[in-house]
Amino acid sequence: MLNNHNNNKDKNLWRGRLSESLGTETAQFISSLKEDARIVEIDIDVVEAHNLMLHKQGIITEAELAKILTGLEQARADWRAGKLKLDPKQIDIHPIIEKYVIDLYGIEVGGKTHCGKSRNDQVMTDVLIYLRNQGLGLSRQLVELVQVFLDMAKEHTETVMPGYTHTQHAQSTTLAHYLLAYIDVFLRDLERLGQIYERWNKNPLGACAFGGTTFNIDRKYTAGLLGFDGILENTIDVVSNRDFALEYAAALAIIAASLSRIAEDLVVWSTYEFNMLELADNLTDTSSAMPQKKNPCPIEMVRGKAAGVFSALMNLLIMLKGIPTGYNKDLQETKPPLWQAIDTVGASINIIKLGMGTLKVNEKRMLELTRKNHITAIDLAEFLVMETGLSFREAHFLVGGLVQAAIKDGLQLNQLPAKRFKMICRDILDRELEIDEAKFKEVTDPKLSIMRRQGIGGPAPVETRRMLKDRQAKLAEIEAALKEKENKLAKAQGYFRQQVSELRLK
Ligand code: ARG
What pLDDT score does 4 carry?
A: 47
* Angstrom distance (rounded) from CA 15 to CA 153: 62
State phi, psi for 124 to the nearest 5 degrees: -60, -40
Q: Is any ligand 1 atom within 6 A of the Cβ of residue 327?
A: yes
User: Nearest C-alpha to atom 12 of ligand 1 is from which residue?
Assistant: 332
* CA distance to 71, 73, 220, 233, per residue, from 52 (Å): 13, 13, 12, 20
Report how far ligand 1's centroid is from the alpha carbon of 383 (Å): 67
Quick check: is 177 catalytic?
no
Read off the pLDDT band of 3 (50, 70, 90): low
Average pLDDT across the chain, whole number: 96
E strands, 248-312, are: 277-278
State phi, psi for 175 to the nearest 5 degrees: -60, -35
Report how far ligand 1's centroid is from the alpha carbon of 117 (Å): 12
Supply the DSSP string of 106-164, one letter for each residue.
Answer: -HHHHTTTTTT--HHHHHHHHHHHHHHHHHHHHHHHHHHHHHHHHHHHHHTTT-EEEEE
pLDDT for 45-54, tens place per residue? Answer: 999 999 999 9
pLDDT for 79-133, tens place per residue? Answer: 999 999 999 999 999 999 999 999 999 999 999 999 999 999 999 999 999 999 9
Q: Is any ligand 1 atom within 6 A of the Cβ of residue 240?
A: no
- Contact, 239 vs 124, CB < 8 A? yes
- Is the model's pLDDT at 378 over the cut of 80? yes
Supply the DSSP string of 207-254, one letter for each residue.
Answer: -TTTT--SS---HHHHHHHTT-SEE---HHHHHH--HHHHHHHHHHHH
Give the HSE-up count for residue 192: Cα atoms under 13 Å, Cβ half-sphere: 18
Quick check: is 139 catalytic?
no
Q: Which of 21, 156, 177, 287 is catalytic?
A: 287
Read off the pLDDT band of 435 (50, 70, 90): confident
pLDDT for 274-305, tens place per residue? Answer: 999 999 999 999 999 999 999 999 999 999 99
Helices H, strands E: what count in the chain?
A: 21, 6
Output 491-498 pairs: Cβ under 8 A, ≥24 positions apart.
492/224, 492/225, 492/226, 492/227, 493/227, 495/224, 495/225, 496/45, 496/48, 496/49, 496/52, 496/225, 496/226, 496/227
Q: Is any ligand 1 atom within 6 A of the Cβ of residue 123?
A: yes
* Angstrom distance (rounded) from CA 279 to CA 269: 10
Q: For residue 168, give the 3-state DSSP assignment.
A: strand
Q: Is any ligand 1 atom within 6 A of the Cβ of residue 329?
A: yes
Which of the 8 DSSP states describes residue 37? G
pLDDT for 203-231, tens place per residue? Answer: 999 999 999 999 999 999 999 999 999 99
Q: What mean pLDDT is predicted for residues 167-191?
A: 98
Report how far ligand 1's centroid is from the alpha carbon of 119 (Å): 6
Q: What mean pLDDT is predicted for residues 238-260?
A: 98
What pLDDT score does 67 carry?
A: 98
State phi, psi for 319 to the nearest 5 degrees: -60, -35
* Angstrom distance (rounded) from CA 72 to CA 501: 12
Which of the 8 DSSP states describes residue 327? -
Task: For a ligand 1 pocket test, name from 22, 32, 33 the mutation site with the most ligand atoms within 8 angstroms of its C-beta.
Answer: 32
- Is the model's pLDDT at 476 over the cut of 80? yes
Q: What mean pLDDT is predicted for residues 1-11?
A: 59
* Angstrom distance (rounded) from CA 469 to CA 190: 18
- Contact, 395 vs 385, CB < 8 A? yes
Calculate the CA 450 to chain-centre distance. Answer: 33
Read off the pLDDT band of 8 (50, 70, 90): low
State phi, psi for 403 to the nearest 5 degrees: -65, -45
- Contact, 358 vs 399, CB < 8 A? no
Q: Is any ligand 1 atom within 6 A of the Cβ of residue 319?
A: no
Ligand 1: nearest atom to the Cα of 331: 12
Q: Domains of the chain, with CATH numbers?
A: 5-115 (1.10.275.10), 120-363 (1.20.200.10), 372-448 (1.10.40.30)
